[in-house]
Amino acid sequence: MANRHSRKPLIPPFSVAFQTPPAAPHWQRWLLFSPLARLLIFVLLALGLMLAGYAVADALGWQGDDDTALPAAATGLLTEAIPWLLAYLILVCWVERRPVSELAWRTLLPHTLLGLLLGAALFSTVIGILGALGVYHITGTRAEMHWLAAVLSLGVVPAIGEEIVSRGVLFRIVEEGLGTWVALVVSALFFGLAHLGNPNATLWSALAIAIEAGLLFGLIFHVTRSLYLCMGLHAAWNILQGAVFGAPVSGLPAQGKLIATLTGPDWLSGGAFGPEASPIAMVCCLAVALPFLLAMRRRGSAVPPYWRRGGSLGADRDTGPTAAHSD
């Protein structure tokens, strides 16, 4: 009787979401289905939808200097979150022609809630340690808060937009071509550099975000293939950081329920950029990232570069999006 452990598995442990249709003509392989082509298509779609969003916001009178907090947050939805999301859905449904498994309706509530809980616990741990070290100080509370506006502008808008771009598009498409390890590095560096233009940003703060958030979100997405989980964690982190604890969010001053200050050396507190530039945040995020890294290693789900998979770019063996996650 043959040893069942010696039998070669029919499905490799790694998986990619998109595969170039075998019958696709040569021009489609490069101008429609190649990684670079899909990245460009997504960017063009998003830019067009963003311009449309700005036009709608302008027609509604939401872009004047007298905007209230809520219209300003709604403008962010129209010009950032919704355009990126729609561009992604068009890319997946009409170009890649596959189910949007990473945004499946059945996982919307459980994965988002899990991400929110994880993000809240993670940032609460960071701010708790900073408080214990005498770095974070609560000096009062704010009587009035525009909670809906704060949740939208700090949580919903950046969580949807940034996770779609950094994980759904960049990480996933780079992983298909160059493999998981390169995708982790590229998407993390992109995520850090994207915050370099924020107020009070430095090269250190960009590197800190790349290491603590870029790697963490990339590993979470690789292991779970869920954008909802990444979005929930991202939103909860930002909301607690700015709207609850009153700390700067990626260099942007916050008007939180708690009025607080950060004291001590900038290298420890994060300075004007906020706790995300603190080594405390980096250590805590890396501690959460470690189990996902170990899960990837245990499953052997890291995707090799396309030239090591025995096929042409984008034309892999039959590996469905769930293959890497079945134990």
CB 80 within 8 A of CB 157: yes
- Please name the residue that has the structure tokens 């958030």: 213
- Distance (Å, whole) CA 219 – CA 2: 37
Q: Is pLDDT of 250 > 60?
A: yes
Q: How confident is the model at residue 68 (pLDDT cuts 50, 70, 90)?
A: low
Q: What is the pLDDT of residue 193?
A: 96
Arithmetic mean of pLDDT over the chain: 89
Q: Is pLDDT of 231 > 70?
A: yes
Residue % of the chain over a pLDDT of 90: 76
Residue % of the chain over a pLDDT of 70: 89
The structure tokens listed for 288 are: 């959460």
| Burial of 322 from C-beta contacts in 10 A (0-12 / 13-18 / 19+) | exposed
Q: What is the pLDDT of residue 313?
A: 57
Q: What is the pLDDT of residue 17?
A: 85
pLDDT in tens, 129-167: 999 999 999 999 998 888 999 999 999 999 999 999 999
Cα 276 to chain centroid, rounded: 15
Q: Is pLDDT of 316 > 50?
A: no
Q: Is pLDDT of 127 > 70?
A: yes
Q: What is the pLDDT of residue 116?
A: 98
Where residue 225 falls (left for φ over 0; alpha for ψ -120 to 50; beta otherwise) is left
Write the DSSP string, 21-64: -TT--HHHHHHTSSHHHHHHHHHHHHHHHHHHHHHHHHHTT-SS
Give kind and range of the element (H or E) at residue 226: none
User: Between 61 and 276, whose confidence is greater?
Assistant: 276
Tell me the residue ranges of DSSP E strands in 142-264. 258-262
- Distance (Å, whole) CA 302 – CA 240: 32
Q: Is pLDDT of 36 > 60?
A: yes
CA distances from 72 to 66, 80, 157, 231 (A): 10, 12, 11, 21
Query: Which H, E and C letters describe 103-171, residue by residue?
Result: HCHHHHHHHHHHHHHHHHHHHHHHHHHHHHCCCEEEEEECCCCCHHHHHHHHHHHHHHHHHHHHHHHHH
Q: What is the pLDDT of residue 146?
A: 87
Q: How confident is the model at residue 183 (pLDDT cuts 50, 70, 90)?
A: very high
Q: How confident is the model at residue 21 (pLDDT cuts 50, 70, 90)?
A: confident
User: Between 36 and 320, whose confidence is greater?
Assistant: 36
Q: What is the pLDDT of residue 237?
A: 98
Q: How confident is the model at residue 311 (pLDDT cuts 50, 70, 90)?
A: low
- Print burial letters for 160-190: b (CB count within 10 Å at least 16), e (below 16): bbbbbbbbbbbbbbbbbbbbbeebbbbbbeb
Q: What is the pLDDT of residue 12?
A: 53
Tell me how long the chain is: 327
Q: How confident is the model at residue 3 (pLDDT cuts 50, 70, 90)?
A: very low
Q: Is pLDDT of 226 > 90?
A: yes
